[in-house]
Amino acid sequence: MIWVSRLLRVGIVLTCLVVLSGIIPISLTHFQTGAACPNLGPIPACYLVSVCYAAMALAALVWWRRLIWVFLAGATPVVLLAAIGTTLELVGKPTCPLSDTGLPLCYVSLAVGCSILVAYLLVVLIEKEN
């Protein structure tokens, strides 16, 4: 089963990199215009989400037991922000950047964040057995 955990870790890293490739242009647009994503106090949400996905990728790439806290420090804000953004979108208060097709990106971030969290927890369980 160790190959399953390694495959999951590679999938987590690749997924985080794909997400980062989508977030970085939004962050750059926000840096230029100041209007691409909502702010959380003085910090734009897209900057925070970028750092969080990078932390998740790092924790999955460099597998040390102590890095579970780095992963959780990245996953928690991503899932919480996406859940809040999704809730606001559903109640009619649009706050999330839109994809090219008009889909709020917080929907995508919630699905991806939850999927990565479940995959990482599976890796932890599999590695614990071995």
pLDDT in tens, 68-88: 899 999 999 999 999 999 999
Mean pLDDT, residues 1-27 taken together: 90
**Structure tokens that stand for 107 in this block:** 């929907």
Domain that holds residue 89: 2-129
- Tell me, what's the pLDDT at 95? 83
pLDDT of residue 34 exceeding 90: no
**Quick check: 25 pLDDT over 70?**
yes
pLDDT higher than threshold 70 for residue 51: yes
**Residues 117 and 73 sit within 8 Å (Cβ to Cβ):** no
Q: Is pTM, for the whole model, over 0.75? A: yes
Q: Which two tokens stand for residue 88?
A: 């606001």
Domain count, the chain: 1
3-state secondary structure 45-104: HHHHHHHHHHHHHHHHHCCCHHHHHHHHHHHHHHHHHHHHHHHHHHCCCCCCCECCCCCE
Q: What is the pLDDT of residue 124?
A: 86
